[in-house]
Amino acid sequence: MKSRWSISALGAFFVAIALFVAGCGSSGVPSGAVASVGGNPISKRALNHWMYVVVKSQSAQSPNSPIIVPNDPPGFQTCIKEAKAGYPQLKKESDAAVRKTCQGVFTQLSTEVLNFFIQDYWYQAYAHKLGIKVTRAQIAKQLATEKKNQGIKTNAAWQKFLKQYGYTPQDINWQTMFSLLNKKLVARYDTKVTKAEIAAYYKSHASTFGTPETRNMRIVLAKTKSSAEQALAALRHGQSWSTVAKRYSTDPTTKNNGGLLQDVSKGQQDAALSSAAFAAPLHKLIGPVKGSFGYYVVEVIKITPATHESLAKATPQIKSTLAQQKSQNASTELGRKTKALYGARTICARYYVVSNCHGYRKPKPTTTTTPSATSTATGSGTATTKSSTTTSSSSK
């Protein structure tokens, strides 16, 4: 069963939003926390929980694989120990080599999770500022819909789902809450697609709404004009394409199949061949045609006309594409707006500084190496970021 609740879209709701809106709070990061957003801490426990959820979700397709979450920087002694115990082949590697992989996986996981924790704080604070709320009834209704879409009909199936992906019920409730909250925030932006926009898109992408003309043809590619003339004469005297191609052609692709080329679009072949073939009528021998690789003899044996999709038929697809673009643009603008409002009050602890933290500096590019087996052991894949969010009150 594949989870419809996106693991990568993470969130946090650990303290009252009113505290965040009231003031900046502490200028530092409290003990046991990895970041402070307007004085509201994001606990290390919460971060570790969600890194576990990410790895657990990624390993759901391989239930017998060890789940190792590197969460003890900078030494990663626990990660090293667990990785070597879970994957005996790593025992031959040095602690330094395994530590390097643990560090890489930790950076991927913590960056993904913590950036979303912070962003979700910003969104909730902004929603509070605007008076936007999500009710318990709305959460319950959406959760019921998601369960139905997942095919979860019984409590036993629900518990199995939670266990499989490492969720708690609170995780799902808060994820549903923030998904709805995010939709309400995005809905404040203009995402309506007009007929004029659809028409303009159709005009500027005309070549994508249909298929080009294609032709099936038989060819002989000869080294010299003389050889091509001999091949042409042989064909005109009734010899088969199979015989002539084998004798005269130097083209390795078609030499042994009677010179056949199928579903060729204009411009796909040698320019000279393409021009000649797409100007030729059906079933007429053409040649010799001088090309980049020799001399061609060609006969077009089938023409499939181009098709063109009407604006009316293309409209649903275009509307969907433009709506997605506008929604993404709205999400981008929402992120920019909330960072401008709250980014200066977002402080991160050492080893946990990510792009949403105040004072973040982008690291210099480094040469990467192919990950060892530890990458799989520690769940190194990063998930795609989305705008919906989740949280775990159990991880406060």
Write down the pLDDT at residue 336. 95
Tell me the average pLDDT across 136-145.
Answer: 94
Q: Could you tell me the maximum CA-CA distance found in the chain, to the nearest angstrom?
A: 95
- Whole-angstrom distance, CA of residue 365 vs CA of residue 112: 18
- Classify domain 17-192+316-395 by CATH architecture: Orthogonal Bundle (1.10)
pLDDT in tens, 293-325: 999 999 999 999 999 999 999 999 999 999 999
Whose tokens are 């249909």? That residue is 210
pLDDT in tens, 272-294: 999 999 999 999 999 999 999 99
pLDDT in tens, 87-108: 999 999 999 999 999 999 999 9
Write down the pLDDT at residue 3. 44
Kind of pairing, strands 285-290 and 295-304?
Answer: antiparallel
In the chain, where are the structural domains located? 17-192+316-395, 210-308
Q: How confident is the model at residue 364 (pLDDT cuts 50, 70, 90)?
A: confident
In single-letter form, the type of residue at position 268 comes to Q
pLDDT at 395 over 70: no
Write down the pLDDT at residue 14. 28
SS3 readout for 82-112: HHHHHCHHHHHCCHHHHHHHHHHHHHHHHHH
pTM for this prediction: 0.66
Distance of CA 97 to the CA centre of its chain: 30
Whose tokens are 């330094």? That residue is 96
pLDDT in tens, 219-272: 999 999 999 999 999 999 999 999 999 999 999 999 999 999 999 999 999 999
Percent pLDDT > 90 in the chain is: 73
10 Å Cβ neighbour count for 296?
Answer: 28
pLDDT in tens, 18-44: 333 333 333 489 999 999 998 899 999
Write down the pLDDT at residue 362. 84
- CATH for 210-308? 3.10.50.40
Nearest to 278 by CA among 254, 258, 307, 304: 304
Nearest to 218 by CA among 275, 277, 288, 295: 277
H helix runs in 131-191, sequence order: 136-150, 155-165, 169-186
- Whole-angstrom distance, CA of residue 9 vs CA of residue 223: 61
